[in-house]
Structure 1
Amino acid sequence: VSRGQAGKPPGGPVPSCPPSGTKLFTSTVHCTAVLEGFERLRQDGLLCDVSLLPGDGEESFPVHRAMMASSSDYFKAMFTGGMKEQDLTQIKLHGVSGMGLRQIIDFVYTAKLSLSMESLHETLEAASFLQVLPVLDFCTEFLISETTLENCVEVGRIANTYHLAAVDRFVDGFILRNFGALSQTAGFLRLPAERLERALASDSLKRCTELQLFRATCRWLRHSGSRMRQAARLMSRIRFPLMSPQELLHEVQTKTFPRFSPGCHNLAFWRASNYQMLPPMQPVLQSERTRIRSDATHLLALGGVLRQQLLVSKELRLYDERTRLWRCLAPMEAPRYQHGIAVVGNFLFVVGGQSNYDTKGKTAVDTVFRYDPRYNRWAQVAPLNEKRTFFHLSALNGRLYAVGGRNAAGELATVECYDPSSNEWTYVARMAEPHYGHAGTVYGNLMYISGGITHDTFQKELLCYDPESDRWTQRAPMSTVRGLHCMCTVRDRLYVIGGNHFRGASDYADVLSCEFYSPAADNWTSAAPMLRGQSDVGVAVFQ
């Protein structure tokens, strides 16, 4: 047999190939094959170069240093960092049990992990000690999937012990979503004080009244005499002002609370009673203890006119972003159209307007109503000094400002300010000229008014009111005259949207253009126009 010349195959010269680009090939099965190969070597005891011994026994686990070092920062440091274990053939791991070590080794060689609540503790202990992060991730996923009303307190304890932040957050959320049911279980009495306090302080704690939270806290405190020192801290998280006067008197004042927390009882009860006895002042008495428990912002629409029937509505509707549907709340006490709306202290104020469809403003009213979202109730507060409709209402620094408008006597230049603490309207600096059909917004500590109608003439001016100096100043005018338009603040821009103006002697034309004002530069910039005309509508900046 001829062997041929070295480097050349028998039978002739090497065929030449034209040059081409380089191609990369990747195997999708090689990694699995390598793992399976190492697992067979381990099972057969081949090429193993170190044996690991758990701290609680003498069982020996032969393994490959390279495999363990590639999967664990602990072993990588041990085998490559010059430690004495680098040259040992047997290593005792005092912080790891036999079951935990077996779980870790099985995962390193198979990428699979079998978990149960019985094996979880030792697996977590071993994974934390040996710094095998994928196993910690699997344990996190397992705990979250297995959390129930019966074991959530224990799951929280495990999360705290092994610093599993994701599990800890999940347990907090689980407790908030299920607090009412959990408070009736025996496990609730084992809830750590810190986690209970976090729940009681949260705005996301829903479907529980403050009275239910108070009763649950009392039950937790009664479970052990040593817990009484926690009473003041926990009771400070109960929002007593949100209870009814009857609940305060019969449940809080005369029963168990004084015995639990004599130091804070009188102060808490006095604050809650004071809040309940001063309904008009509640918007300015708002604090963490008076704020309704909610982590969501809602869009409301109220009043207006049904164009086809020319009927004025008294409906109050809430937009549910989750279902994308509108649902009805308690209706206003009277229909309203061309009214002003604003929020102070999470109370909704509806001011002025008219109850009948009347484009001349001759049926303007002076009544003011306040909506309380906690109880879905309306209350009447002090009326305006003047009836007004087609005006602007702003909330600024905890007060309401009603600007201009019109009534049966004609156009208005007057401006009124409502102070909830005194339940009174007082006049402040009036505008130089009357305006109605104008729009407004707040930026910083200033109120801006744009456009509108003065002496039957549409305007494009921009006015600025400073409540500190009680003065009006003119700013750069809009590029287009408009009235019955919208205005809102988005970050550092003031937008004007839509509206209409006169096209002829008595013919109205929609204004499709939109523009925004920069207070810092005192100038206007055009924005994208509307697709169709919109006048006499509302606008809100939502999320």
Structure 2
Amino acid sequence: MTESTTTTPNRSLNLKTETPTPETCKSSEHFNIIMNKIHDFFNEKKFCDVTLIAKDNIYQIEAHKMILCASSDVFLGMFGGSMREAAENKGNLDIEGPILELVIKYIYTASIELTADTVEDILRAACLLQLTPLKSLCCDFIVKQLDSSNCLGIALFAEQYNLDDLYKQSETFVCDNFGKLRKDEEFFKLDVYQLSKFLSSSDLRVDSEEDVFRSLMSWIDHDKTNREEFMSKLLHHVRFPLLTPKFIASCIEPSCKSIECERLICKAYKWHLLPEFRLSLYTEKHTQLRNFNGMVMAISGWSANGGALNIGLYYPVLNDWIYKSGIPALTFGREDFGSTSFKGKLIIAGGVLTTTKELTDRVDCLDLKTFKWSSLAPLNTKRKLFGMASLNGCIYAVGGCQGGVNFNTIEKYDPSIKQWKYVAPMNYSSPVLVCVSVTLNKLCVSIKTGQGMSTMYHHNLYDPANDTWTYDWLVTNDNLVGTGTVSVFSNDFFIAVAKNSILRYNYVIKSSEVISLGKTFVKGDCDHCEGFGDRMIAYGNNLFQEYNPFRDEWKTMPKFENTQGKVLLISNQSYNP
């Protein structure tokens, strides 16, 4: 008789057993090994239990039911229920044989080779089989191929198959390149619903609202017999408040024959001629600039002794400031200089050097992406207390003085030749130049003359197209601190005056009115004023305020934190870092 003994596990590794909590361990290789083995079974046609039949009824692929059902709800419904396919273990698919083979191999391997010739058919198959990851791969591939020759077709394809992300990206491309696409053959293939969708978009990037109307007319003229009936429907998407009465009368009115079109034109004229009825005529969307993604740039910390600059960038979309601090000041500190924004750069020109008190002709620019300084060609004339503005890809330096001499000269910087050259001079010269702004594609130069009770402000227009001036199109006697054009009202010019009011001048009816400050306006001295798209931005008493002409009201913008030293306010409608 043998004595029974109790055996214990052989713990030759002598590991500690006191740790009470077990550790869950996972192998990253396990599933890969299994899927590779299943893929081998697929290639060798081992254990296959279903047959997929392609569109031609000839191309057949044997596969594993469990793998297919786990990958696609379409296969799960086909083989996992009471359908005929489940009983017969066969399924017919409306997919071409070679494409079906690529898709099934993707199901087993999670990889697929995409080409420009196959991606569209593979994406259709992925949509049919509800293979979301494969759809994403195809859409990512297509986005990389987006260009002006295919973006409209891709947008329509994405809309047809409910590919939201692909549609948004292709629509964005269409809107960003609309100026080119409206001349492309694909544009003329759009139906009226598709065209309406694009024309109504606020993201459409066009030089002016005139381009929207011209694209509409080119689409109609391409097949006038069948498309002319859609004229009034499409005209509803044109933002008439952004067009001048002259353009409406000369370009739109002759093209309109229906009663509905005439009603739209009459409504547009009423808008321009009777400002008091504007709120009842259009929604705010119809008065907003398209694709306006600009910013307001405020610079503080500027002093005669130099020092670091603090730049705040205000984006209306965010309704907040983004700060860039500690930016090096100019090596040559200066006062009484001119400044403007130009193609993503801050331009500082002329003025008085703080070290020597001498006038300078230096022109420096700060890149708002790299925040590094560089130099441009010097001015032809050393000047101070002058105005600057950018228009049509050039920079203008206007007026100013040197010693006891007041200038009426204008210099234009042309980046294509990297030089300044003189253009037609003004009739006026003044030791105080109030403002240079851009309106109606012209420079508006506001000059102060006289003193005391005889002080007058002369507003003059310079047309760069023919190098000519229009003098005294408006004369005011209020203490002027800034001017600006709010582009949404294409016939209105806005002037900010120091007694906290805004003067609106209408080009068409040639009359002016003082605009109500509104209940939300915070009173205080106004130091700066800038037109900003369809808004006016004013700065004073360390507060930034925004005026909405459509609503005739002010609102206080988020607080600008860096207000030490001199503050420069520059609006920039095109730069988007």
Q: TM-score, normalised by structure 1?
A: 0.60
Distance 2:277 2:147 in 1: 40
Displacement of 1:137 in angstroms is: 0.9
Displacement of 1:101 in angstroms is: 2.9
Aligned counterparts, 1:180-191, within 5 A: 180-191=179-190
Distance 2:37 2:245 in 1: 74
Distance 1:192 1:156 in 2: 13
Displacement of 1:42 in angstroms is: 1.0
Residues 455-478 of structure 1 show CA distances to partners (whole Å, capped at 9, x for unaligned) of: xxxxxxxxxxxxxxxxxxxxxxxx
Amino acid at match of 1:36: N
Aligned counterparts, 1:514-529, within 5 A: none
SS, match of residue 171 in structure 2: helix
Residues 59-84 of structure 1 show CA distances to partners (whole Å, capped at 9, x for unaligned) of: 4322122211221122334555x434
User: Once the two structures are aligned, what percentage of the paired residues are identical?
Assistant: 17
SS, match of residue 367 in structure 1: strand
Distance 2:274 2:461 in 1: 12
Displacement of 1:106 in angstroms is: 0.9
8 Å contact 1:383–1:425 — kept in the other structure?
no
Distance 1:240 1:222 in 2: 21
* Alignment match of 1:367 (pick from 443, 448, 457): 457
> Kindly tell me: are residues 52 and 310 of structure 1, through their superposed partners in 2, closer, same or farther at Cα, counting changes over 3 Å?
closer
Displacement of 1:170 in angstroms is: 2.2
Distance 1:247 1:419 in 2: 22
Amino acid at match of 1:160: E
* Alignment match of 1:320 (pick from 344, 358, 383): 344
1:449 is the counterpart of 2:523 = yes
8 Å contact 2:434–2:481 — kept in the other structure?
yes
Amino acid at match of 1:446: T
1:156 is the counterpart of 2:241 = no
> Kindly tell me: are residues 402 and 282 of structure 1, through their superposed partners in 2, closer, same or farther at Cα, counting changes over 3 Å?
farther
Match of 1:36 in 2: 36
Residues 25-70 of structure 1 show CA distances to partners (whole Å, capped at 9, x for unaligned) of: 5444433322221111011121222222335414432212221122
1:60 is the counterpart of 2:60 = yes
Match of 2:226 in 1: 226
Distance 2:180 2:248 in 1: 23
8 Å contact 1:283–1:344 — kept in the other structure?
no
1:136 is the counterpart of 2:135 = yes
Distance 1:8 1:427 in 2: 96
> Kindly tell me: are residues 169 and 494 of structure 1, through their superposed partners in 2, closer, same or farther at Cα, counting changes over 3 Å?
closer
Distance 2:556 2:208 in 1: 40
Residues 137-158 of structure 1 show CA distances to partners (whole Å, capped at 9, x for unaligned) of: 1221222222333333332332
Displacement of 1:539 in angstroms is: 9.1
> Kindly tell me: are residues 293 and 369 of structure 1, through their superposed partners in 2, closer, same or farther at Cα, counting changes over 3 Å?
farther
* Alignment match of 1:329 (pick from 387, 390, 403): 390
SS, match of residue 329 in structure 1: strand
Match of 1:431 in 2: none
Displacement of 1:348 in angstroms is: 12
8 Å contact 2:50–2:90 — kept in the other structure?
yes
8 Å contact 2:241–2:268 — kept in the other structure?
yes
Distance 1:535 1:192 in 2: 55
8 Å contact 1:49–1:89 — kept in the other structure?
no
Distance 1:146 1:541 in 2: 32
Match of 2:176 in 1: 177
SS, match of residue 447 in structure 1: coil
8 Å contact 2:437–2:445 — kept in the other structure?
yes
Amino acid at match of 2:262: N
> Kindly tell me: are residues 5 and 229 of structure 1, through their superposed partners in 2, closer, same or farther at Cα, counting changes over 3 Å?
farther
- Structure 2 residues without counterparts, runs of 5 or longer: 305-332, 347-366, 374-387, 401-430, 487-491, 527-539, 547-553
Displacement of 1:221 in angstroms is: 1.6
**227-236 vs 106-115, greater mean Cα deviation:** 227-236
Distance 1:281 1:107 in 2: 65
Q: Across the two proteins, how many residue pairs are aligned to each other?
A: 434
> Kindly tell me: are residues 536 and 282 of structure 1, through their superposed partners in 2, closer, same or farther at Cα, counting changes over 3 Å?
farther
Residues 96-141 of structure 1 show CA distances to partners (whole Å, capped at 9, x for unaligned) of: 4434432321111111123334434442333222211111112212
Match of 1:534 in 2: 565
Residues 238-280 of structure 1 show CA distances to partners (whole Å, capped at 9, x for unaligned) of: 45665667755654444xx23xx5334434555666777x699
Distance 2:237 2:166 in 1: 24
Distance 2:217 2:50 in 1: 58
Residues 386-440 of structure 1 show CA distances to partners (whole Å, capped at 9, x for unaligned) of: 4x378999x9xx9977454xxxxxxxxxx76635468445699xxxxxxxxxxxx
Match of 1:263 in 2: 259
Match of 1:198 in 2: 197
Distance 2:472 2:132 in 1: 61
Match of 2:72 in 1: 72
8 Å contact 2:520–2:556 — kept in the other structure?
no
> Kindly tell me: are residues 300 and 183 of structure 1, through their superposed partners in 2, closer, same or farther at Cα, counting changes over 3 Å?
same
8 Å contact 1:153–1:188 — kept in the other structure?
yes
Match of 1:46 in 2: 46
Amino acid at match of 1:49: D
Match of 2:112 in 1: 113
Distance 2:5 2:99 in 1: 60
Match of 2:385 in 1: none
8 Å contact 2:245–2:269 — kept in the other structure?
yes
Match of 2:292 in 1: 295
1:418 is the counterpart of 2:503 = yes
> Kindly tell me: are residues 298 and 92 of structure 1, through their superposed partners in 2, closer, same or farther at Cα, counting changes over 3 Å?
same
SS, match of residue 162 in structure 2: coil
1:168 is the counterpart of 2:167 = yes
> Kindly tell me: are residues 105 and 494 of structure 1, through their superposed partners in 2, closer, same or farther at Cα, counting changes over 3 Å?
closer
Distance 2:95 2:216 in 1: 39
Distance 1:282 1:384 in 2: 26
Distance 1:267 1:58 in 2: 62
Q: TM-score, normalised by structure 2?
A: 0.57
Displacement of 1:220 in angstroms is: 1.9
1:487 is the counterpart of 2:538 = no
8 Å contact 1:355–1:363 — kept in the other structure?
no
Give the alignment's Cα RMSD to 1 decimal: 5.6
SS, match of residue 521 in structure 2: strand
Displacement of 1:168 in angstroms is: 1.6
Match of 2:145 in 1: 146
Match of 1:409 in 2: none
8 Å contact 2:78–2:86 — kept in the other structure?
no
